[in-house]
Structures are given as structure tokens and as C-alpha cells.
Chain A
Amino acid sequence: MKWVMSLLLFATLVIAAEPIVIGVFEPMTGPYAAGGQMTMEGIYLAHEQVKEVLGRPIELVLVDNKSDKVEAANAVARLIEYHKAVAIIGSYGSAVAIPGSEVANKLGVPMVGCSPTNPLVTLGKPYVFRVCFIDPFQGTVMAQFAVEKLGAKTAVVIQDIASDYSVGLSHYFQEAFKKLTNNKKSVLGVISYQTGDQDFTAQLTFANSKNPDVIFIPAAAYGEAALIIKQARELGMKQIFLGGDTWEAPEFLEVGGKAVEGSYFSTHFDTEATTTPRAAEFIKAFRAKYGKDPSAFAALGYDAYMLVVDAIKRAGSADPKAIRDALAATKNFEGATGYITLDQNGDAIKDAVIRVVKDGKFVYVTTVRPSE
């Protein structure tokens, strides 16, 4: 009898199997377009592998946030109110993830960030989580690398004043760099530009006049980072350039060309330095689908989707509140980018990878573990 009941229940479920909607807001256009599109490659692959949960099909709805803060808030509101998404994934770019996270948190729908690294994305928002590390760690990693591996004693920072990501990362880098060099004056200057700028000659001439060992460019947009370095070389500058995870885009290499050779940056993932068995499966599947190696953003998109599905499964329901509680309890979730445990802020504590540009390619240098 019990058996028949459950069969009946299953049948009604299949008949009434309304899809579970997972909403995605990512930049498909604008200065962050490559980041959003690379993330989507991973999300689409994950969706292809896991198409249903709790016996209901998963419907993936993507809304382009156009790399714009206002559009990002609208995109999340639209996903929740119109598309009835029970969970949100996104977005590349802390500047757009923060307004999106405000809306998701207010409407009580859990959001999982793929690659936004600014602490403010999740801070004080019980419904917001992320699968990547945060900038206090990333800034320290690059400062440590500059001081210990490159022997840098002085630095100049060129930051994008219109981007939360850039200003935040710049701040944490400076803090760590001053501490590690034991010199409060080791950061010789901080100079700003704004998202959308294409001419950086003034900032670079200023930076060059300080004659630093390294120049840190936490650009929010990879294309702008490439132009900065290109113009620096044209101005005859020979310093080593360091950056953050946004640099990992083919456009950075295409636009930067020879100028970006020998530049270092931190990121989340490298096919040569994986830590989980799932990573190998992911890389294999990704290569089969796209015919190229996955980027860190694709890997994080993959992990974010898999984590959301896992949380729905653990919650046993598609109720946003139940999914949130399951997400908050995430421990040692096996992702492609590593084992993910979410702390009280909803942030993942993970390794950072440092890569260098060599012969027009991104090459693995080292892995840095969080100190705790």
C-alpha cells in the first residue's frame, strides 16, 4: 500500500512537475562581458549534467545585467518577481553583484555569487553566499607574492574609483604590502581612473614618476587593465605589473599583446593545480563541450550551480527559505575549484592561484593557501 502511495505521489509529481527556476544575472555585454560569458559556459555545462532536482526539471533563466549597477538590481528583481526564481546565481563584478545582492536579500531569495570577491557582497546579508574567496585574502596574496617572491620594496596602485571591487582590493593590497615591507611609506602612490576610461597616460606618468618596483592594477575590467599596461610600455615603463582575478580573460591577452608578458595575477582555479576529483571530471567535460580549457570563471559558475542544486536537494524543497538554510549549512562541498565550506558571512575559504602571462598564455606559477 505504502508502495502504491509513493508511486502515486511520484506520478502526480511528474505530471505536475513544474520547473524549479534558478535565475542567473551575469554581464553579457559591457566592460565585464567576457567575465559573464565565461561564467555562463560553466553554468550551462553544469545545467547540461544536472537537469532536474527533487523530480522536477530545472529551468535556467539568464538576465543580462549589462555590467551596470542599476541594471543588476533590476535583473534580480525581474528574476524573482517575474520568473519566480527560487535561487539566484551571479554575478561577475562586485560592483554589479552588490546591488543585486541587496535586492535578493530584501526579497528573501538566496543568492550564490560565482566570482564577486568584495566583502560587501555578502556582509550582513543572510541570504547571500559565494563560492569564491574574498578580497582581504586576495589582496594579501598579491602583496605577499610581490614582497616575498619578487622582492618588491615599493609599489604604486592604479585603481578604478567607480568599482567596489577595485577600490576594495586596492585597499587590502596596500594594507598587506605596508605590513609585509614593514614600511608605512612603501606604497608610493595611489591614483584613480573611472570605468570606461581608455586613456591612462596621466595615471601612468604619475606612477612612473614615483619609480616603484611593482605596479598593482586591480582593474574591474580586463580590457582596461590591458590598455593600462599597453600604454605603460609605450611610455617606456619597465615595472612589473600585478593584478587580480579579473585579468583572466582572452581579451586581456588579445588587447594587451606583447605588453602584458610577464604580468602576474591571482585567480581561483588552474587546470594544473586542482584539489578535488570533481575538478578532473569538470575539465574533461568542459574540454569535450567547448574544445578549450576552462577559465576560473567557468569553474566558479559550475560550482555555484552545483552548490545551489545540492542545497535544494538537502533542503528537500524548493522553498527559498529552506534553500537558504541548507546553503548556510554547506560543509566540505566538493566543487571543481576546491572543497567549499561557507563561513558565518556566507563566504568560501579557498586557495588562490597565481598565474603569469608567458608567450601569450596564462601559465600557472603557484598556489597560496589561507593562513588559518
Chain B
Amino acid sequence: MSDAQASACAFSSGGVLMNLTLFLQHLANGVALGFVFGLVAIGYTLVYGVVKLVNFAHGDIFMMAAFFVYYGIVLFSFPWFLSFLFAIFLTALLGISIEKVAYKPLRNAPRISSLCSAIGMSFLLENFAIVVFGGRQKPFYQPAVLNKTLNVWGVRIQLVTIITIVVSIGALFFLSYLVYKTKMGLAMRALAYDFDTARLMGINVDRTITFTFAVGSSLAAISAIFWALRYPQIWPFMGVFPGWRAFTAAIIGGIGSIKGAMVGGFLIGMISILLVAFLPDLAGYRDAFIFIMLVFVLLFKPTGLFGET
């Protein structure tokens, strides 16, 4: 333990008073968790924004990506960075095929049908993983280069966390550029309003949707990689918890809004950490606080923080 932390202990053991190092450590923990959730949430929200489909299988696509990395390294002995790329590519393909098989045939059906199809897909992927990969947890490979802890004035931050933040912000800018500055983005925005009208305007609906799913699934893969680097155990249900968190984050931020998803994820991460930090006795009720926040956001702004009406 560093001197700074030792003094932190001496200060805070007295009561509610918290010294600066301790507070900063909690803050750093909150930022780290918030960006991880945010990164998962933007993939969720992107698909919703364009196709108006809540892709409940997103968490499970996320899980599959982690296993692709695992098998890339274990089975094919790829170096880790190659394995990451391999996983992102495979996950994009998986996302595209899921869309073709489970969502495309239902495009003209009532929205509830594709929602059910998404839930079905989620169960299918989980059970596929149980049968093929087995139900037990597997350790995720952590490259030594990335597995480092930085000590900044007594506040300890994982190197992976810093990279996660950089990648999240990078993804945010990339997506904003993609959606607002490119031709494909224009097509995506047109689809978000109305499929038929978009088609009449000469937009290739199928291709645009395929592209959206490819990007959304790649984001799931990227978030899965950073999740697993931080929490290195992978198993068939690993996508459920981040999936629900990301879904909540996307709703708080206004589902469909990329910026909103990031902010929503950030808020959830912060609440998760700061509640435990300041009200340790209420730590067990953390989820209640997250959902109370969701209720309040929806009460005052039914479309979410950044949602459009």
C-alpha cells in the first residue's frame, strides 16, 4: 500500500469524511465502469436507431465474440491482436447472418414479432454456447502489455481502462462521422424514418441494414474484448448482465441516440460505484437506485435524455 493510500485509510476510518485520494479512486472506478457500459450500449442503440429493433441478442453476440477471441488464441494459436481482429470479423458475420435468418423475414410483420425473434435468438445463442463451449467459466487471455496498473497520485487505474476510454470516445466520433457525414449514414438516417419511403428514394434497404448489423456487431465484439480484458472470465451467460445494463443505459440516454447511450452507460457506472462508496449500507440496493433513476428520467423525459420525439 502506498503512503497516500495509508493516509487515506487513516482519514476515512473516522466516518463519512473521505479524503481526496479515496474519493478520486472511487471516481476513477466509476469512470472505468461507466465507459465499459457505454461501449456496450452504443452497439445496442445503433441497431435500434436504424432498424427500430431492440436487439435482445446483442448481449449474446457480445458473448460469442469473447469466445471467438478465446478460441482464436487457444485453438489456432493466433497472437492476441490477430485473434481480436479475427473475432471482430467473425462477430460481424454472425450479426449479419442473425439479421438474415431471424429479422429479415419479419421485416413487414408487427414489431412485436421481431422482438420475440430477438429474444429467441438470444436463447439460441446461449444454449448453443453451453452445448459447444460448455457451461463452465474459462479464463480470458490477458496480454502482459495490456495487463498493467498505473499509479497516479495514489489512484490506481488499469491500463485497459484508459484504452477503453480512448476506444469508446473514438467509437463515438467514428459513429457520428459515419451517420452524419457519409452516404451510408444518410441512408441509415433515411431508414430510421421510414423503410418504404427510403426505398422509393433509391436506397438499398437490405444492404444498409446488413451494414448496420455489421457495425453494431463489431461494436459488440470490441466491447466484449475490453470487458473480458477487465473481467477475465468468460461463460455462456456473460452477456446477460452487460446486455441488460447496456439496454438500460440506452433507454436512459434515449434509445437510438449514440451520444445518449454513452452518457447513459456513464451514469449507470457512476451510480453503481458512488452508491457503494457513499452509502455502503445501501450497497445491496444498487439495482433499485439504477432503476429509480430510469423511472425518473422516463417520467420527466419519456424519450430519454437525448432522445428525439
Contact = CB atoms under 8 A, between A and B. Distances in A.
Interface of A: 28-31, 33-34, 37, 64, 161, 188-189, 191-194, 196-199, 201-203, 205-206, 208-211, 223, 226-227, 230, 234-238, 251, 254-255, 257
B1 A237 contact: yes
Nearest to A226: B233
B149 to A, nearest CB: 5
Interface residues of B, number: 49
A33 B231 contact: no
Contacts of B6: 211
Interface stretch (B135-143, B171-179, B257-265): B135-143
Contact of B136 (A209, A251, A257): A251
6 contacts: A33-B235, A199-B231, A203-B276, A230-B232, A234-B156, A234-B158
A35 B284 CA distance: 25
Contact of A33 (B135, B240, B276): B135
B interface, over-half SS: helix
B149 A234 contact: yes
Interface stretch (B26-34, B108-116, B207-215, B294-302): B26-34
B286 interface: yes
Contacts of B192: none
A147 to B, nearest CB: 21
Contacts of A161: 283-284
B32 A192 contact: no
Contacts of B9: 208-211
B139 A255 contact: yes
Contacts of B120: none
A196 B272 CA distance: 13
Contacts of B8: 209
Given A206-B277, A236-B151, 6 more contacts: A192-B284, A201-B273, A211-B13, A227-B232, A237-B1, A254-B138
Contact of B284 (A33, A194, A201, A251): A194
Contact of A37 (B29, B135, B230, B240): B135
Contact of B137 (A34, A193, A208): A34
A189 B280 contact: yes
Contact of B13 (A193, A210, A236): A210
